[in-house]
Every structure is written in C-alpha cells, then in structure tokens.
Amino acid sequence: MKKTALITGITGQDGSYLAELLLAQGYRVVGMTRRTSTDVHERIQHIVDDIEFVSGDLLDQTSMTSIVADVMPDEIYNLAAQSFVPTSWQQPVLTGEFTALGVTRVLEAVRATNPKIRFYQASSSEMFGKVTEVPQRESTPFYPRSPYGVAKVYGHWITVNYRESYDMFAVSGILFNHESPRRGKEFVTRKISDGVARIKLGLANRLALGNLDAQRDWGFAGDYVRAMWLMLQQDVPDDYVVATGRTHRVRDFVRIAFEAAGLGSFEKYVVQDPRFMRPAEVDLLIGDPTKAHEQLGWKPDVSFEQLVEMMVRADIDRLSARAGA
C-alpha cells in the first residue's frame, strides 16, 4: 500500500529535500502551500508534477482540519514556520502565531480527524539558546534567546503533551542548523556562499556580516530529512537531537568559503556591520547525536568542509549561468 505524507512548509529548504526523499520511497506526497500571487515553487520545480498541492495556512484552523480530513495522510511533517531568527524580534506576535500556535492547530486537526496519523514537529537547537550543557542532548534544559526560540519551545512541548495526553504518535526532532544550496539567502551560510560567489565573479567587492564568533553545529539538509523520516518509522514515538557533533565559528565558514573560491584571505573583503548583530545571541551550539545514531541508525554523510564547498560551487555556477544567459 502506497503511504501518503502531508508536508507543511514544502516550498522551504527542508520541504524540498523531504519531498524528494519520500517520492523516491514511493510515497504519495501532498504539500500544503499558502496562497500567493507569485510562484513560490523554486525549490521544488523539478518535482512539482509529482506532488499534489493543497492550499492552507497554519494561521487558519479550518483549512488545517479540512486538509487533514481530505488528504487522510499516514504521516504529517510539520515544517512550516517563520524560521528566520532576526525577523522574530520584528514580528514576535506573528512568529508566535505561526511557529508556536500553528503546531497546536495541526495537532488539533490530527486529533479531531484521525489520531493514528504519525506527526513530526520541526523543533530546533535554538531552544537550547544560552546553553546550560555542552554538548546539548535530548535532556538538556531549554533557555531560548529569541521570540523564535521561545515559540519553538512551545511547539516542542505541545507535541510532547499531545503524545502523552492522547497517546498520539507525535515526535519532535531537535535539529541543529542544516544548510544547502537551497538555503534562504538571509541565513548566514547562504549569505556567505552567495557573497563569495559575487566577489569571485566581480559582481561585488565586500561582504557585510554580524557576529563572526558565534558557533554552530552545521550539517547538510539532505542528510537531516532522512532523520525526520526515520523518526516516524519507529515502533515507539520519541524525541531526538539531530546534529553532527562538531561546531565551527561563523569565521571558519567564511574562511573556508573564500578559500574554496580561490580568493585567499577573507579579511580584505569582509566587514562587520552592527545591523546584523542580534539583541540576544546564541553563542555556542553543539549537539550530541548519540541517541539518533544508536536508535535510528542515522549518521550524516556530508562533512562541514564538503558542505561549504558545495554551497560556494553551487552559487558560482548559478551566477555564472545567469551572467552567460
């Protein structure tokens, strides 16, 4: 029997990789998108004919409930969110509506329609914030440092609560930063790879960044969606940290990116701009993925260095093709 998966946030970075993975496994993939006046299918253009689309919004309970009732999925991956941390200070209420209460709306739709549906919540290492333990594992207490982080803590606990209250197969994947050539250009890794490519091709001569000392545990998004799927294939629902177990400073990403493009030392190109500093920073994230390794059999394939090189190469190729067109 062909399984059906409903993905919220299918137009995002993770949604695109997850849709590819599920289609390759023979799933019927249904993607929920919000109504827009322009095409938002850029990341899934290559598989758009293989996906069924339904129109809905995490802000709207009615659409969520009728989508779940109509689609009757076996699995739901709730990836939709306002996911950019700086925007969460500018739009804290909306971030709470999408990223926190939106989770309850999907869970309520599941509970009311068919509590047997398996539910995945996209939780985040941002919940650890001002970390109380190094490395961070499933039992590490949360100390979020942004309205986004606070909203994700709510999303995490409401998922645990529905599992415990209603015996639902609801799991929370606590994913550390994961990147790819499909990452939004506002996030630091893609901003760097795009900026380096522009400098390489003579389209720019400097790159303005914020805090170069922040440390993140960066992996490849294509590896991380495998962990999401594995979590929903277990006998017992549980929560998992998904990370590489290595951390690097933003400065390291910058250095390797400039080297990968053959531009040498980054110092003459990079300027620090206070506009990109945050009111409260998450200084250090490093995850302990032991539980995911042991119980899910999950391991990342792509190293940090390969990730940086992949992203720089993709942006150079993309911009070169555009210049040649």
The residue ranges that bind ligand NAP (CB under 6 A) are: 8-9, 11-15, 34, 40, 57-59, 79-83, 98, 122, 124, 175, 177-178, 184
The C-alpha atoms of residue 216 and residue 203 are separated, in whole angstroms, by 29
Question: Which of 34, 30, 28, 41 lies closest to 6, judged by CA?
Answer: 30
The C-alpha atoms of residue 268 and residue 196 are separated, in whole angstroms, by 12
Query: Which one-letter amino acid corresponds to residue 7?
Result: I
Q: Is 148 a catalytic residue?
A: yes
User: Which of ligand NAP, ligand G4F, none binds 14 (CB below 5-8 Å, type-dependent)?
Assistant: ligand NAP
Q: How many residues bind ligand G4F (CB under 6 A)?
A: 23
> If binding is defined by CB under 6 A, does position 87 make contact with ligand G4F?
no
> If binding is defined by CB under 6 A, does position 288 make contact with ligand G4F?
no
The C-alpha atoms of residue 136 and residue 285 are separated, in whole angstroms, by 7
Q: Which is nearer to ligand G4F, 73 or 102 (CB)?
A: 102
> If binding is defined by CB under 6 A, does position 22 make contact with ligand G4F?
no
Task: For the beta carbon of residue 203, count every other beta carbon within 10 angstroms.
Answer: 13
> If binding is defined by CB under 6 A, does position 176 make contact with ligand G4F?
yes
Task: For the beta carbon of residue 42, count every other beta carbon within 10 angstroms.
Answer: 9
Q: Is 224 a catalytic residue?
A: no
Set 75, 126, 179, 309: catalytic member: 126
CA 279 to chain centre: 22
Task: For the beta carbon of residue 303, count every other beta carbon within 10 angstroms.
Answer: 13
Site string for ligand G4F, 88-127 (x = CB under 6 A): ------------------------------------xxx-
Q: Is 166 a catalytic residue?
A: no
* Residue spans of alpha helices (H) in 49-140: 61-71, 85-90, 92-95, 102-113
Task: Note the residues at the interface with ligand G4F (CB under 6 A).
Answer: 83, 85, 124-126, 176-177, 186-189, 191, 209-211, 214, 216, 250, 276, 278, 281-282, 285
Residues serving a catalytic function are 124, 126, 148
